[in-house]
Homo-oligomer: A and B are copies of this chain.
Amino acid sequence: MTYQAPLLPSPFRCHRGGEIVGGQIAYETWGTLNPTKSNSVLIFTGLSPSAHAASSPADADSGWWEQLIGAGAALDTHRFHIICVNSLGSCFGSSGPASINPLTSVRYGDTFPDISIEDVAAGGRAVLDHLGIERAALIVGPSLGGSAVLAFAALHPGRARRLISISGTMAASAHAIALRSIQREAVRNDPIKGLRLARKLGTVTYRSAAELAARFGRAASSGGHDFAVQDYLDQQADKFTKTFDADSYLTLSRAIDLFDLNAHGDPTVLFQRAELESALVIGVEQDALFTIDEQTRIAAALRAGGIPTQLERVDSVAGHDAFLADQPLFAAIIARWLQDT
């Protein structure tokens, strides 16, 4: 079930200035909150997904993390009360550029304030506040969501017992910034054709050269291009541009670039104060966008902060997208870690 309510403090002061009045955060839940409100798992998403992480009686469509959430799954709905939040700035129920500004009754568009990962984390905290949950049992997120998890832990100490950060970053690399800035330039040039280009480039950077070679090689196109890999990029662009808002894309893409955990102090000190019992960091060797070295640095900072931290290096040709493409692999790692710690 998707819930949407005016959950943000109003006015909500964004991390980079700007205010949102009557801000909403869409979220979805699975499982049951226990009487002590101590069994919640708070999930932050990557740039593009909605809060629909898994199917439910209210919405039978498969979610983006369908194989990780459910009865008996790694994130077990018999044990946990699972919450997934749609990022502030996105276009699936949470306030964003595609929303109507209640002060003007017109769509925000590019007048929506600059959003940072800190604000995405604050959106998750607002949902916990709304539900009266003092402390989440676990916060978890991949990609942008992995960074949001780190921001949440650092900036809302005591509000989570444990964390799982997957393929995130404490501060984006010049290479990733360069690629995302090109994607945003494409969208600013032409919101329709440019969003297609941006998603195609995203797809190439989310996967690996080895996977494209194995899946497509130099096979011929059946869609009017030269090569089958071009058909694949078309399909990815089609899927994405049907549902995603160009201004939300600009907002969230830039939010990842601008995030720098170091701006809040030494991450080691931030994590020392975070009151975390344990942490799991998962990275993918073949991830070209949020590299395995960045995952190693996250784990090192958590450990330096005194938090027992497990680092898992996943081998997957799906690259950055492995958390979507190789869900059983991630489910197994998470299930084992939850059992062992």
Contact = CB atoms under 8 A, between A and B. Distances in A.
A175 B213 CA distance: 7
Copies in the complex: 2
Contacts of A111: none
Interface in A153-178: 171-175, 177-178
Interface in A192-227: 193-194, 196-197, 200-201, 203-204, 208-209, 212-213, 215-218, 225-227
A189 interface: yes
B182 A218 contact: no
A333 interface: no
> Which one of A174, A181, A193, A218 has the greatest number of beta carbons of chain B within 10 Å?
A174
Interface stretch (A20-28, A57-65, A96-104, A254-262): A254-262
Interface residues of A, number: 42
A218 B260 contact: yes
Interface in A276-290: 288
A179 B197 contact: no
17 contacts: A173-B212, A174-B215, A174-B227, A175-B204, A175-B208, A177-B218, A177-B227, A177-B230, A178-B229, A181-B200, A181-B226, A181-B230, A182-B233, A185-B197, A189-B189, A189-B190, A209-B288
